[in-house]
Amino acid sequence: MDKNDILFFVNVMFNGPMSGEQYDGFWNSMITSPIVLRWHKSGSVNWSKAEQQETQKLVVKQILEMMTRADEDVSVLLRATDTLGSFVDGSTDRIQLAANEHAIPILIGLFKLNGEKTELKRTACDVLMIVGEATGMFQMMAAKNIIGSLCLCLRAENPGRELEIRVVRLLLRLAQEARVYGQIVNEGMMSPLFRVIERNSSIKEVTVTVSTILADVSAFARKCKLDISPFVDSKCCRGQVLVLAATCHAQDAAVVDCTFRFFVNVSNNPVNLPHLINSETIEGLLSLYVLAGGTGYLAELAGHLVHGKSVNTITGYIGIAIEILCRVISSSDVWRDETVEICNFVREMLLATDGADIVLNCGGKDLLEILHTYLAGPDVETSSGGDEPGFLEPCNLPEDGSQYVEEAVARREEFIGSDVNLRARIVYENTSMVEDDHDKMPVGNHEEKSRRAVFITARVHPGECQASWMMRGVIDFLLGDSDVARILRRMFVFHVIPMLNPDGVFYGNSRCGLAACDLNRQWQTPSKALHPTIFHTKELIAKERSTRGVALFCDMHGHSRKKNVFMYGCDTKRRPNPAARMFAKLFSTQQTAKKYISFPDCSFKVSKDKETTARVVAANELKITWSFTIEASFCGANYGVYK
C-alpha cells in the first residue's frame, strides 16, 4: 500500500458515492484494516521517514479539508473529526503536524455550526483535549478565542449533559494551562457555568470542575480589582446554586474549599452582589461548614461580609467561630493557622458597632468562662522545697446579697411547690400590703379613679440582670414606709411588671424569648400567640391610658458598653418632646438620683432600628410624654458614687 492508495481510501471514505449501509461497512473495514492500523500507529509499513511524514501530511490535509465543509452531512464531519483524534492520539509529532495544518481553528469552528450537533461538538472537545497534550497547544487555542466558541456551546438551549461535561473539562485545562481567566469573564462565561452546575449538581465531576473554575476566576478578578457585576446575570448567577451543589458533595474537601474561596473573593468585589451573597447564601454556607467539618476560609469570609455592614448579618459565623475557639482552648490542641485567624476575626467583631453584644450573645460567655478558668501549669517549688498547687480565690457575694439570693431561691421553690391556683396571684399588690395613714380614711371610688397610672417593666432581655436589681430597689422603695413612697402610692396607681420575658430567663437566653426574636422589637405589632407578655402589657397600657391616663412609662435594661446609669427618651426634630429631656435633667439633679444618673450619657434620639421598642411605641403610638428606658451598665461607672 503506497501513499496514493491511502489517499484513495481517504477520498472514498468521505466522497465515495455509496449508500448509508455501504458507507458504514466500508468505514468499519477501513478503520480496522491491519495495514492502515500498522501505518498510522507504528509506521511499520516499509517507507522512509520522509515518505511517512509526507503521507501523514497528505492524510491530515485530506481529513481537515473534509472537516471544513460545513454543508457536509454531520456523520461525515463526525467521522472525520474522530479519525483526526485517532490519528494524533499519543504522538506529539502528529499533534504538531495537525496544528501546523490549522487543525485547531478548524476544530474550534465546529462549535459554531448551526444546529445542535452535540455529538460532533463532544468529539471536537475530546480531540482538542488530545491535542492539548502537546506543549503550547492550549495557549494556541486561547489565541484563537476558543473561550467564545465554548460559551456558544453552553448557551445553547439544550446542549446535553455529555457536552457540558466535556466543555467544562476542557475549560478547566485551558484555565490552568493558558490562564484564560480574563477571557472567561469578558466572554460572559460565568453565567453559563452557573447554569451548568445547577443542571448537573448531582454529578461530582461537574461540581468539582465548575467550582474550581469559578474560584480561580474570582481570585483573578479580586487580584486585578475587576468588577464582575456587569458579567454575572442576577437571574442565573445565584449564590444558593453553588452552595447547594457543594452541599451535595460536602465530603469532598476540594469542593468545599473552592466554594468558600469563591465567596471570599466575590465579597471583595468593588460592587455588592446581593444575588450571590445574601442571607440565604450565608445560611447555606453555615450548613456546608457544619457538614464539611471546617474550612480555612470561614473566618476570612465572615470578616469580609461584615465589612461595611452590621455584625447582626453574620451572627451564625460568630457563633461557629466561638464554638471552635471553646473546643480548641478547652482541649489544649495545637493551634493551627485557622485558629489564629478565627481569634483575629472575633477580635475584629468585638470592635465593630454592636459587636460586643453580638459576640456575648453568640457564645461569648462560654468563651469567657473557659478563658478565666484556672489551667494548672508547672508546679512551683516553695521555699520549703515542696509543691504548692495554685488555686483561684472564689468570688463571694456581699453578705446581704448572698442572703437575698438564698431567700429568693427559697421563695421560688415555695412558690413552685404551692397550689397551681394560687400561682396566678399578683406577687406585689398596690397598697393593701402597706399600712398607710390614709388607710384609716376611706378613699372614695372617684378619687381612686382619678389617680394616673405609672408603668415600670424589666427583664425583656433575659441576660440584663441589672434590670432585676433596679426593679428590686423600686419595689422595696414603693412598699416602704418613707413619706415619699406614701405620697406616691396616694397619687398614682403603679403597674409593676418585673419580668417581661420569663421564658427567656428560665432557659438562660440572652435577648430572645421562645419565639426566637427580640421581644423589645415587637411592641409595634405584637402577636398574642408569639409575644403574649408584650401583647397584654401594651393592651393594659392602652386601656389605662383611655380611662385614667398614664403619667410615666419606664423600661429597665442593662447596657454592655456605655458606663454609668442613664436614660433614653424620645425628643426628635420630627416629633419634638422637650418635656422628656426636661424630666431626665431634673431627675439627674434630684438629691438621691444625682449620685447615680449621668445626664451627659442620656440620649433622646430615635434611630430606625429602635422604632419598634417599648420606649418609642409608648411615646409615639400611646402618646405617653414621659416614656423612658433606664440603663445600668455592665461595665461599671466613671461618674457618681460608684466611680
Please write the tens of the pLDDT for every residue from 143-185. 999 999 999 888 888 888 899 999 999 999 999 888 889 999 9
Q: Dihedral through CA 477, CA 482, CA 485, CA 489, nearest 10?
A: 120
450 and 420 part of one domain: no
Helices (H) and strands (E) in the chain, counts: 30, 5
Its domain, for residue 541, covers 445-642
Phi-psi label, residue 397: left if phi above 0, alpha if psi -120 to 50, beta otherwise: beta
- pTM score of the predicted model: 0.49
Amino acid (1-letter code) at residue 118: T
Q: Does the pLDDT at position 555 exceed 50? A: yes
For residue 389, tell me if it sits in a domain: no
For residue 107, tell me if it sits in a domain: yes
CATH number at residue 529: 3.40.630.10
| Active-site option among 187, 300, 544, 631 | 631
For residue 458, tell me if it sits in a domain: yes
For residue 294, tell me if it sits in a domain: no
402 and 478 part of one domain: no
Q: What is the DSSP annotation of 76-118? A: HHHHHHHHHHHHHTT-HHHHHHHHHTTHHHHHHHHTT-SS--H
54 and 128 part of one domain: yes
Q: Which of 179, 207, 233 is the last residue of a domain?
A: 179
- pLDDT tier, 370 (very low <50, low <70, confident <90, very high otherwise): confident
562 and 416 part of one domain: no
Measured in whole angstroms, the distance separating CA 162 from the mean position of its chain's CA atoms is 34
Instruction: Please tell me the least confidently modeled range out of 25-34, 53-62, 146-155, 328-337.
Output: 25-34
Q: 325: closest CA among 372, 367, 296, 297?
A: 367
For residue 379, tell me if it sits in a domain: no
404 and 475 part of one domain: no
| E strand segments, 550-589 | 550-559, 565-568
582 and 512 part of one domain: yes
Q: Does the pLDDT at position 379 exceed 50? A: no
Phi-psi label, residue 114: left if phi above 0, alpha if psi -120 to 50, beta otherwise: beta
Amino acid (1-letter code) at residue 141: M
542 and 417 part of one domain: no
- pLDDT tier, 352 (very low <50, low <70, confident <90, very high otherwise): confident
409 and 527 part of one domain: no
- pLDDT tier, 405 (very low <50, low <70, confident <90, very high otherwise): confident
Does 631 participate in catalysis according to the annotation? yes
How many C-alpha atoms does 238 have within 13 Å on its Cβ side? 12
Q: Three-state SS for 412?
A: helix
513 and 620 part of one domain: yes
pLDDT, residue 342, reads 72
Q: Does the pLDDT at position 356 exceed 50? A: yes
How far CA 590 is from CA of 517, 552, 558, 583, 594, in Å, comes to 37, 17, 22, 11, 6
Q: 613: closest CA among 564, 603, 350?
A: 603
For residue 75, tell me if it sits in a domain: yes
449 and 419 part of one domain: no
pLDDT, residue 429, reads 42
Q: Three-state SS for 555?
A: strand
- pLDDT tier, 14 (very low <50, low <70, confident <90, very high otherwise): very low
536 and 628 part of one domain: yes
pLDDT, residue 347, reads 76
For residue 297, tell me if it sits in a domain: no
Please write the tens of the pLDDT for every residue from 201-259. 899 999 999 999 999 999 999 999 999 999 998 888 998 899 999 989 888 888 888 98
Query: Residue 473 CB: number of other CB atoms within 10 A?
Result: 11
Work out how many domains the chain is built from and give that number: 3
pLDDT, residue 305, reads 56
Query: Residue 87 CB: number of other CB atoms within 10 A?
Result: 22
Q: Does the pLDDT at position 311 exceed 70? A: no
Please write the tens of the pLDDT for every residue from 436-493. 554 544 444 556 778 999 999 999 999 999 999 999 999 999 998 889 999 999 999 9
CATH number at residue 106: 1.25.10.10
Q: Does the pLDDT at position 348 exceed 90? A: no
What does the pLDDT average to over 303-316? 56
Please write the tens of the pLDDT for every residue from 539-552. 999 999 999 999 99
Q: Which of 179, 201, 234 is the last residue of a domain?
A: 179
493 and 547 part of one domain: yes
- pLDDT tier, 615 (very low <50, low <70, confident <90, very high otherwise): very high
What does the pLDDT average to over 394-410? 69
pLDDT, residue 460, reads 96
Q: Which of 129, 164, 179 is the last residue of a domain?
A: 179
Q: Does the pLDDT at position 526 exceed 50? A: yes
Phi-psi label, residue 293: left if phi above 0, alpha if psi -120 to 50, beta otherwise: left
For residue 132, tell me if it sits in a domain: yes
Percent of the chain predicted with pLDDT > 90: 38
Instruction: Please tell me the least confidently modeled range out of 153-162, 368-377, 559-568.
Output: 368-377
- Asked if 180 and 147 count as a contact pair (C-beta separation under 8 A), the reply is yes
